Amino acid sequence: MMCGIIGCISGENCYEKLLSSLARLEYRGYDSAGVCLLSEEGVLRVRKKKGYVSNLAGKRLAGGAGIGHTRWATHGKPSDENAHPHLCGKFALVHNGIIENYAALKEELLAAGEVFLSETDSEVVVRLLSHAYRGDFLGAVREVCARLSGSYALAVLCSDFPGEIVAARKGSPLVAGAAKGALYVCSDVPALCGEAEFLCPVEDGEFVVLSDAVRIYDAQGRQVERAFSRVKSEQRAASVAEGTFMQSEIAQIPRALRDTLAGLEDTDFAPCARALRGAKRVWCAACGTAYHAALSFADLLAEEGFCDVFCSTSSEFRYKTPLIGEKDVFVAVSQSGETADTLEAARLAKSRGAYLIGITNVADSSLSRLVHFNIAMRAGPEIAVAATKSYNAQLVCLFYLAAQMLFFKRGAVPGWAGEMVSLPEKAEECFRTFGQMSALAAKLRAAKGMFFLGRNADLPTALEGALKVREIACLFAEGYPAGELKHGSLALVEEGFPVLALSTREALFSKTENALAEVRARGAYAVLLSQSEEVLSRSCADCKVLLPQVCAPLMPVLSVLPLQYFACRMSLLRGMDPDKPRNLAKSVTVE
């Protein structure tokens, strides 16, 4: 499951702290929520409901130790019964992940006379705990975890141990936190940042005991010394300055670019110089929006003739990598640094001896700790499920990396690298298109679907524009290479069908215009985005959007901005919440 878990020990207001942490986990996407508090007398009190975290508000639940959960349904529909925490005997448990052998374990428990109250895989874990328990809380959790296959982050209460929480991690993210008078475990750094002052990552296979302090144990039960680091300012929880998080995050793009560029300037790339100089091949893997950023990077390196570059969605990577090995560089791109498919792809590349570079927005994320060299985007917390500012920041990191690679190989940075410094200001200039994009969204709000077209470097941007519209406006939208339409998809174009085309590469202006002419001849409503006034003035498009000028290789950082804003307006005009798209979660921590 892509759920969020929280555990908190607190001198006072544990219930309130749990609810506010759960509200911070909301952005990950969920369909039900719950909390359980353990009082000093050893009484477990639970409240869990289908729907929003706000449904949990009501009479305060007493207790100084508590666990909470936001559930994204996989095993069993969203319902009060399937919501976590799950209880059995002296135990209450919240779980993020998937227990792959749950069916066999459930059969065993049913045969032993257990009665299940939910359809979840997680309930088997709490029932196994109840069976395994002989007075040793941590021992029981370790014993049960040894029987689980799949992935999990667990937080557990036991009524014999008021003031204690045991947590465990394998494959699903978990971080420990501390503040004055409170200790935490949580799935997610951003969700903890408003509460905890110090953070400490929990590694796979480790167990955490929260009581008077945070204690971490390895799989063999030996206590592990682990340093806590102070929460950095860029990790602090975000707030909405305008309307929705997505609107705010689009407005923050210039700042995200400025901060990311400043961070890159301070980054010492020398440790990866040897690997980059000697790179035989470059492989990139990422998911969704991050994949589109990786595609742009691969295009740029290929255009520069760096070496063979292969780009794949992380979920397909393992089937397409017969050749990856030593002397290869593997670049993993992930805003959260916790996407399970991308982590798996990175582990595979590492096992083959490739040199791993990660690009993440979350310090201390699983990916940043897995790779040989991590490049931090400094986009700030991204709360809206739809990625916006992190995409622009990813592109900047990837293009900067490409410039470093070219420098290490050829002894000189490419000419376009010098123009990167102008990107924040140019991104601000892009805001001028928003009035036009808003009017366009109003005109197209009732459309049944739309195409986004681009050739070469504009194709990843077209794919990203389409993904944004699908994701938050719940509208069929597809991105295509402009030259591909007549090979099949043109059949869908009819009177009034919207087609949005990007044309930022001079050599391809006329070819993209040809594609627009083809769709327009079939009645399409054509929109063209370009930085060339001449191309726009000559175009047959019904709506023409002028982009700011920047050298061609950097255009993708800017040309996507009007599309991000357009998707957000479409979502709002269609009565949706762009921050919480249907069926989707921010952090996809299962394969």
Report in angstroms how near the CB of residue 359 gets to ligand AGP at its nearest: 9
Binding residue (CB under 6 A) for ligand AGP from 335, 392, 530, 539: 335
Of 48, 170, 580, 586, the catalytic one is 586
- In the bound state with ligand AGP, the residue whose beta carbon lies nearer, of 167 and 386, is 386
Stretch that binds ligand AGP, among 150-158, 220-228, 333-341, 423-431 (CB under 6 A): 333-341
Q: How many CB atoms lie within 10 A of CB 230?
A: 10
CA dihedral 381, 386, 389, 393 (to 10 degrees): 90
Interface map 130-159 toward ligand AGP (x if CB under 6 A): ------------------------------
Distance CA 465, CA 467 (A): 6
Nearest CA among 162, 80, 425, 458 for reference residue 299: 458
CB-based closest residue to ligand AGP:
288
Report in angstroms how near the CB of residue 566 gets to ligand AGP at its nearest: 14
Contact 560, 392 (CB under 8 A): yes
The reply to whether 386 sits near ligand AGP by the rule CB under 6 A is yes
The reply to whether 288 sits near ligand AGP by the rule CB under 6 A is yes
The reply to whether 342 sits near ligand AGP by the rule CB under 6 A is yes
Report in angstroms how near the CB of residue 377 gets to ligand AGP at its nearest: 10
Residues 6+ apart with CB under 8 A from 407: 413
Binding residue (CB under 6 A) for ligand AGP from 5, 385, 396, 516: 385
Within 13 Å, how many C-alpha atoms sit on residue 144's CB side? 32
Report in angstroms how near the CB of residue 293 gets to ligand AGP at its nearest: 9
The reply to whether 253 sits near ligand AGP by the rule CB under 6 A is no
Amino acid letter, 586: K
| The two structure tokens encoding residue 585 | 């979660």
- In the bound state with ligand AGP, the residue whose beta carbon lies nearer, of 164 and 382, is 382
Nearest CA among 461, 509, 521 for reference residue 485: 521
- In the bound state with ligand AGP, the residue whose beta carbon lies nearer, of 142 and 468, is 468
| The two structure tokens encoding residue 314 | 């992380």
Contact 405, 536 (CB under 8 A): no
- Is 586 assigned a catalytic role? yes
| Backbone angles phi and psi of 3, in degrees to 5 | -90, 175
Report in angstroms how near the CB of residue 342 gets to ligand AGP at its nearest: 5
Within residues 523-542, the interface with ligand AGP by CB under 6 A covers none
Residues 6+ apart with CB under 8 A from 181: 10, 11, 12
The reply to whether 290 sits near ligand AGP by the rule CB under 6 A is yes
- In the bound state with ligand AGP, the residue whose beta carbon lies nearer, of 336 and 503, is 336
Name the helix (H) or strand (E) containing 430. Answer: helix 423-430
Stretch that binds ligand AGP, among 168-176, 383-391, 509-517, 572-580 (CB under 6 A): 383-391
The reply to whether 368 sits near ligand AGP by the rule CB under 6 A is no
Contact 578, 571 (CB under 8 A): yes
Sign of the C-alpha dihedral, residues 296, 299, 305, 308?
A: positive
The reply to whether 588 sits near ligand AGP by the rule CB under 6 A is yes
Distance CA 432, CA 548 (A): 9
- In the bound state with ligand AGP, the residue whose beta carbon lies nearer, of 339 and 456, is 339
- In the bound state with ligand AGP, the residue whose beta carbon lies nearer, of 387 and 545, is 387
Work out the widest C-alpha separation in the chain, in whole angstroms.
80
Contact 295, 463 (CB under 8 A): yes
- In the bound state with ligand AGP, the residue whose beta carbon lies nearer, of 63 and 173, is 173
**Cis amide linkage into residue 548, ω under 30° from 0:** no
Binding residue (CB under 6 A) for ligand AGP from 471, 541, 561, 563: 471
- In the bound state with ligand AGP, the residue whose beta carbon lies nearer, of 493 and 557, is 557
Compute the chain's Rg from CA coordinates.
Answer: 25
The reply to whether 87 sits near ligand AGP by the rule CB under 6 A is no
Which residues of this chain interact with ligand AGP, rule CB under 6 A?
A: 287-290, 334-336, 339, 342, 385-387, 471, 587-588
The residues assigned a catalytic role are 3, 586
